[in-house]
Structure 1
């Protein structure tokens, strides 16, 4: 049991990045109360900061390690490595934009509710994906539609 508990907390997920434990919902607690909002605000801010730090680190790494290798294979390997790093950083930038949109929703008191049907998204789903803007049912339907459209 102890090993399983340690395994869960050591996995790299949004909660562990933020250094937070899963939210413990209290009996008869109102959805998206101050404690829950603060919990998600901390998660999102920490995640955003970490992503920004990774972007800065990548840029410094590329600048510091850019070497003009005489061997074309070595040069191609380095360029491919840099290309992958930059692609990952681009994904991080897009995620930062989603995080900023979600933080704006928190400030507007519109966080935690489905954009499609307005039901509660749910604490556990939001902990797994804090930028989620659809409940699990609407997301499932959207994915089914997407699969049908792409064949």
Structure 2
């Protein structure tokens, strides 16, 4: 198995990975060959583990007990902070589902290809957002259609 170290790219959107031998996917090789798939599988697994770790930390804080601030303003501030933290964890739970779907696409041989056009998704896009399911062009068209639907 290939060892890796995580470089935190955009904690919000991805987990960048560098394989032990320094490998990084490039446009010069066959798209979604074995090494590219291993690279993205590792990136997705690392990202998922990071999210799970953060969720465990939140759960541990929640188990510490209720907020017991004497001052009403401090208590309100603490409750607001907890509300934000719980919403963040809910978004991350949904993100974990998308990561698992991307891992399934790797296993099924569909990873890296646009679900709308069937065209390869650029490596730069996949590095930035390994859960991407559409090319930039297809995503933009999808968002335009969504906006039109909402406006009507």
Counterpart in 2 of 1:25? Answer: 26
Counterpart in 2 of 1:73? Answer: 73
Q: Using the alignment, how far apart are the partners of 1:50 and 1:73 within structure 2?
A: 33
CA contact (8 A) 2:67 2:79 kept: no
Structure 1 residue 65 displacement after superposition: 6.1
4+ residue runs over 4 A deviation: 19-22
Counterpart in 2 of 1:150? Answer: 150
Q: Using the alignment, how far apart are the partners of 1:49 and 1:134 within structure 2?
A: 24
- Please, which runs of 5 or more residues in structure 2 have no aligned partner? 1-6
Counterpart in 1 of 2:44? Answer: 44
CA contact (8 A) 1:113 1:119 kept: yes
The Cα RMSD (Å) is: 2.1
Figure out how many residues of one structure are paired with residues of the other and give that number.
141
- In the superposition, the TM-score normalised over structure 2's length comes to 0.83
Structure 1 residue 60 displacement after superposition: 1.1
Structure 1 residue 22 displacement after superposition: 7.9
- Please, which runs of 5 or more residues in structure 1 have no aligned partner? 1-8
Query: Which one has a larger percent helix, Structure 1 or Structure 2?
Result: 1
CA contact (8 A) 1:15 1:22 kept: no
Q: Using the alignment, how far apart are the partners of 1:71 and 1:101 within structure 2?
A: 45
CA contact (8 A) 1:44 1:130 kept: yes
CA contact (8 A) 1:22 1:127 kept: no
CA offsets 1:106-127 (integer angstroms, 9 cap, x no match): 0111100010110001211101
Structure 1 residue 150 displacement after superposition: 2.3
Structure 1 residue 90 displacement after superposition: 0.5
